[in-house]
Structure 1
Amino acid sequence: MVVPLVLLVIGTATALAGWAAWFVVRDRAVILRQLWGGAVVEVLMVLQAVVALVLVLNGSGSPEPGTFWGYVVVQLMILPFAAAWAFAERTRWSSVVLLVACLTVVFLEYRLLQIWMG
């Protein structure tokens, strides 16, 4: 895995989590701009998955490919589900859902890096 890309995903997801936390504190629902921020994080994760696939095809890879790709697939599903939930739930809890989803992405990024490094 490319460490700068991992750090970029972690940084953007953390920033979005902070923004969602601010909305939780202020008792506000998620806004469309936050969902666009989630889309940016999602695009970065898709890019990261493509880079990981290219690295695997070139001979690099995780010592635990099943676990690694399982984490990648789950990670790619988290923000779309959270965005759909946040869009449907127009209360403060939509911000809580986005916050938890972003923190989950940050944790999964950390675990992906651990798995990749062996």
Structure 2
Amino acid sequence: MLPLLLVVGLLALLLGAWAGLRAVRDQPMVGSQVPAIGVVELALVVQTVVVAVGMSNGATSADPMLLWGYLVTQLVLLPVAFAWAFVERTRWSSVVLAVVCVVVVVLQVRIWQIWLG
């Protein structure tokens, strides 16, 4: 599970840095960031499936409800940020995307802590 958490966190950090750089330059999100959002979202879906399979095979966590709450939340965040960025064609679209990526990284840390118990 740890390698997957690290990959997801690294992908989110890279996307967040890219969005943060565009925000500093006062530029909105661009279409070339959409595939990157898709890659991070796909990694999040894979992570959720891995956790589901692990839990169905007997793995436990300290607080399963909180774990699933974090997993579902992180699945929803990037599509919402994308929708916001699609409508908001100012630098704030990049700011929102950067903030969401930071939140995804923080959720990765929390998921790891909960998974370990």
Q: TM-score range by the shorter chain?
A: over 0.9
Amino acid at match of 2:103: T
Q: How far apart are the structure 1 equivalents of 2:39 and 2:60? A: 26
Aligned with 2:62: secondary structure? Answer: coil
Q: How far apart are the structure 2 equivalents of 1:27 and 1:108? A: 27
Runs of 4+ in 1 over 4 A off after TM superposition: none
User: Unaligned regions of 5+ residues in structure 2, if any?
Assistant: none
1:87 aligns with 2:86: yes
Amino acid at match of 1:70: G
User: What's the offset of the Cα at 1:35?
Assistant: 2.0
2:115 — aligned with what?
116
Q: How far apart are the structure 1 equivalents of 2:62 and 2:113? A: 11
Amino acid at match of 2:16: A
2:97 — aligned with what?
98
1:54 — aligned with what?
53
Amino acid at match of 1:46: V
- Map 1:10-49 to 2 at 5 A: 10-49=9-48
User: What's the offset of the Cα at 1:47?
Assistant: 0.2
1:4 — aligned with what?
3
1:74 — aligned with what?
73
User: Unaligned regions of 5+ residues in structure 1, if any?
Assistant: none
Aligned with 1:62: secondary structure? Answer: coil
**Percent identity for Structure 1 against Structure 2:** 49
TM-score of the pair, normalised by structure 1: 0.97
The Cα offsets for residues 11-38 of structure 1, whole Å up to 9 and x where unpaired, read as 0000001001110111100001112211
The Cα offsets for residues 36-71 of structure 1, whole Å up to 9 and x where unpaired, read as 211110000000000000000111121210110011
